[in-house]
Chain A
């Protein structure tokens, strides 16, 4: 019940295209859903986050879509750039234990 399932594991997108990464969860106690971006050899960094009372949040080219009834959320990267090539992790926060549960990660490659 603590799992967060992330797909796809890897993704190749042409420059200018839309990158879409999906996550699904089971635990209804999750109350905060961040996305992290990790470049090779670096630690993950917070990219964007959403609370379950909001269906969408946009920051620049990055958008989170949240479907509470389906227990799914996704990251959309518009106008994808080679500099977006990185590993992306979705996560879900359990307020009861103040812990993040991470998805398995998606390795994104944006081809020029």
Chain B
């Protein structure tokens, strides 16, 4: 069966520090991968998606970047965090229909 792992679950980082969130998928090959951000009480904002290794599409200009170094690995990064980067970050994968989401990372920038 397919599983998606996302870590860490919570993270508190100072303004200006770097960020690296990792997401891995097991039990499938060549998945589409997605990063979403969810502000408190708000909807799902698509940040990046990837259809293959090294292929990244950015939906919203921001202080973040994404990379896909391996087929089932998706990384969200920032060189210098801003207060506005705080939120709940979700990774998801899909093959045909529907997405499967990870458990999310609660990021607080202080």
Contact = CB atoms under 8 A, between A and B. Distances in A.
A46 B101 CA distance: 9
A89 B103 CA distance: 16
Interface in A89-112: 89, 93, 98-100, 102-105, 107
Contacts of A93: 97-98
Interface in A21-76: 32, 34, 36, 41-46, 49
Given A41-B104, A43-B103, A43-B104, A98 B94 contact: yes
Interface residues of B, number: 22
B44 A32 contact: no
Interface of A: 32, 34, 36, 41-46, 49, 89, 93, 98-100, 102-105, 107
Nearest to B90: A43
Contact of B43 (A41, A42, A89): A89
8 contacts: A32-B98, A43-B6, A43-B90, A43-B101, A43-B102, A44-B99, A49-B98, A105-B42
A45 B101 CA distance: 7
Contact of A46 (B6, B100, B102): B100
Nearest to A51: B97
Contacts of B32: 98
Nearest to A49: B98
A93 B96 CA distance: 10
B66 to A, nearest CB: 16
B35 interface: no
B98 A46 contact: yes
A100 B99 contact: yes
Contacts of A45: 101
Contacts of A102: 43-44
Contacts of B43: 89, 102-105
Contacts of B97: 32, 34, 49, 93
A107 B98 contact: no
